[in-house]
């Protein structure tokens, strides 16, 4: 979601005549930050530093605080430097940040991204701290000004906020309650993207599978909470997430649709059936488990047990045998015992995720879990984290090795930035592969044989080169042959 918001901010600023560079593209002074830097065309050096922020973990916030401190020193020698923040930290801390960081000039909430150019102008004009933080509504901007990093792939947010109450999570505070983009708008934007040459879209939302958009009747207000629309009786038929996916699969030119992130409670049989029947839907399903212990899951208010979660995975794997399942795990949640931890270890062994994001628990102020205390010592969290990471990395490697010798349909994204003689692509299972081929293949799909593995990236070669088909007759419509049989 942040990447999408950054692309919108960048596009809007460039439309106003700013030259925008991301930090890894330029600026040596601030090496290593996640910020975007907007410099007025023709002006010497950087005029504006804008950081897009995340509140999900303490560590992400600490990095922003560190960066603001560094920018404060920079500002002493360059007093005209304008410093701005956007993203979830703004929603969480609001004007308190102005007091703590007087060097901060402007803040923009997740629902006010369009106002960034005007806010910068205001700072230049009045030289005072300014903020725009709207508390309700939809924090999604569909705009043709967006500056995508790829002509062939696009992020497409379809809902924001969350009505679940996972006790560790700051999202309901920073992004508010669930609001879905009307289905008609999503369809229109996806069609527009396909018309521009986009082949792969990734649908975004904090809890994307609880999407509940409306097909608006003529004249009905757009961009409203779905609940409001239903209540007013002015909306058309409700569109669930599986229905939306089914609709988007009909768009000509779109060849792959992926989505993130989902909640197990809303991962339904209907959704699994839609995935199974549509080869356009990515064969990666990210479904956060968080813990293998029912006791911890209950304290997290996750609304599922381990067995209920596993039953869903079993069913999905039965319907879609080539699906790759990935997950999120939190270790060291308040009150987590050795036994709870062992349950998570066993869950990883039993389910065998293709990959998992595993993090130490960190308190997010204002969340229900903050009241539980952070009673697991850092050293214990570190040991548990290491154990889980090691285990998962062995499982991931074994699954990846089982792919070698199989072939798969690969979407070719770009020239390999590390070796321009190679191409870089992505399987439907969202796994990376590099191989030799023509630069003209970028933006198309090819059948690639997996020949090796380098860390988490596959090495491959185009299948038809070996089969001697001489560049004709590769059936790109057939389902990918994958390594699931070897799992
Ligand atoms: S479902 Fe996801 S976004 Fe919503 S509260 Fe739980 S962890 Fe946070």
From first to last of its 487 residues, what are the pLDDT tens digits of the chain?
A: 888 999 999 999 999 999 988 776 554 444 333 444 554 333 447 899 999 999 988 999 999 999 999 999 989 989 999 999 999 999 899 889 999 999 999 999 988 999 999 999 999 999 999 999 987 767 677 888 888 989 999 999 999 999 999 999 999 988 888 999 999 999 999 999 999 999 999 999 999 999 998 764 444 344 433 333 333 334 567 899 999 999 999 999 999 999 999 999 999 999 999 999 999 999 999 999 999 999 999 999 999 999 999 999 999 999 999 999 999 999 999 999 999 999 999 999 999 999 999 999 999 999 999 999 999 999 999 999 999 999 999 999 999 999 999 999 999 999 999 998 899 999 999 999 999 999 999 999 999 999 999 999 999 998 864 444 433 333 333 333 343 333 4
On whether the CB atoms of residues 141 and 169 are closer than 8 A, the answer is: no
Give the span between the Cα atoms of 81 and 44, in whole angstroms.
12
Of all atoms in ligand 1, which is nearest to the CA of residue 172?
5
- Name the residue of 207, 259, 366 to mutate for ligand 1: max ligand atoms within 8 A of Cβ: 207
Give the span between the Cα atoms of 55 and 8, in whole angstroms.
20
CATH of domain 2-132: 3.40.50
Which residue, by CA, sits nearest to atom 8 of ligand 1? Answer: 169
CATH topology of domain 407-486: OB fold (Dihydrolipoamide Acetyltransferase, E2P) (2.40.50)
- Answer yes or no: is the C-beta of 113 below 6 A from any ligand 1 atom: no
Alpha carbon distances (Å) from 393 to 356, 396, 400, 404? 9, 5, 10, 17
Of 117, 64, 69, 119, the closest CA to residue 93 belongs to: 64
On whether the CB atoms of residues 65 and 32 are closer than 8 A, the answer is: no
Of all atoms in ligand 1, which is nearest to the CA of residue 162?
4
Cis check for the bond before 261: say yes or no (omega within 30 of 0).
yes
Which residue, by CA, sits nearest to atom 1 of ligand 1? Answer: 164
- Distance (angstroms) between ligand 1 centre and the Cα of 475 equals 41
Of 362, 364, 390, the closest CA to residue 376 belongs to: 362
Of all atoms in ligand 1, which is nearest to the CA of residue 169?
8
- Answer yes or no: is the C-beta of 172 below 6 A from any ligand 1 atom: yes
407-486 has the same fold as 2-132: no
- Distance (angstroms) between ligand 1 centre and the Cα of 165 equals 7
First to last CA, the chain: 32
Domain ranges of the chain: 2-132, 153-401, 407-486
Return the CATH architecture of domain 153-401. Alpha-Beta Horseshoe (3.80)
């Amino acid at each position: 979601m942040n990447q999408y918001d950054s692309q919108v901010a960048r596009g809007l600023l460039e439309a106003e005549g700013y030259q925008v560079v991301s930090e890894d593209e330029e600026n040596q002074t601030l090496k290593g930050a996640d910020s975007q830097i907007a410099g007025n065309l023709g002006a010497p050096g950087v005029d504006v530093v804008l950081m897009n922020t995340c509140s999900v973990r303490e560590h992400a916030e600490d990095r922003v605080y560190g960066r603001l401190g560094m920018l404060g020193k920079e500002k002493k020698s360059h007093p005209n430097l304008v410093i701005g923040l956007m993203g979830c930290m703004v929603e969480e801390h609001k004007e308190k940040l102005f007091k703590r960081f007087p060097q901060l000039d402007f803040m923009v909430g997740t629902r006010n991204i369009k106002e960034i150019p005007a806010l910068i102008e205001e700072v230049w004009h009045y030289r005072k701290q300014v903020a725009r933080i709207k508390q309700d509504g939809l924090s999604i901007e569909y705009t043709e000004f967006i500056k995508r990093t790829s002509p062939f792939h696009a992020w497409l947010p379809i809902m924001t906020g969350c009505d679940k109450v996972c006790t560790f999570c700051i999202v309901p505070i920073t992004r508010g309650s669930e609001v879905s983009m009307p289905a008609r708008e999503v369809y229109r934007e996806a069609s527009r993207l396909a018309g521009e040459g986009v082949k792969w879209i990734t649908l975004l939302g904090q809890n994307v599978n609880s999407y509940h958009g409306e097909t608006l009747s003529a004249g009905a207000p757009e961009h409203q909470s779905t609940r409001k629309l239903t209540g007013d009786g002015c909306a058309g038929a409700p569109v669930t997430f599986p229905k939306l996916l089914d609709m988007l699969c009909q768009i000509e030119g779109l060849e792959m649709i992926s989505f993130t992130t989902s909640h197990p409670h809303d991962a339904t049989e209907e959704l699994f059936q839609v995935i199974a029947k549509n080869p356009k839907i990515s064969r990666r399903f990210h479904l956060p488990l968080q813990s293998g212990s029912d006791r911890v899951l209950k304290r997290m208010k996750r609304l599922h047990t381990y067995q209920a979660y596993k039953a869903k995975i079993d069913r999905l794997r039965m319907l879609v045998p080539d699906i790759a399942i990935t997950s999120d795990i939190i270790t060291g949640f308040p009150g987590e015992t050795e036994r709870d931890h062992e349950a998570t270890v066993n869950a990883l062994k039993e389910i065998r995720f293709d990959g998992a994001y595993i993090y130490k628990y960190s308190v997010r102020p204002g969340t229900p879990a903050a009241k539980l205390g952070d009673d697991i010592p850092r050293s214990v969290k570190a040991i548990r984290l290491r154990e889980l990471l090691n285990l998962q990395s062995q499982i991931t490697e074994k699954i990846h090795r089982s792919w070698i010798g199989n072939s798969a349909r690969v979407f070719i994204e770009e020239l390999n930035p590390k070796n321009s003689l190679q191409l870089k692509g992505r399987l439907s299972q969202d796994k990376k592969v590099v191989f030799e081929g023509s630069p003209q293949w970028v933006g198309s799909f090819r059948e690639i044989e997996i020949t090796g593995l380098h860390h988490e990236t596959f090495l491959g070669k185009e299948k038809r080169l070996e089969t001697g088909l001489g560049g004709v007759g590769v059936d790109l419509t057939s389902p990918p042959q994958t390594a699931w049989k070897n799992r």
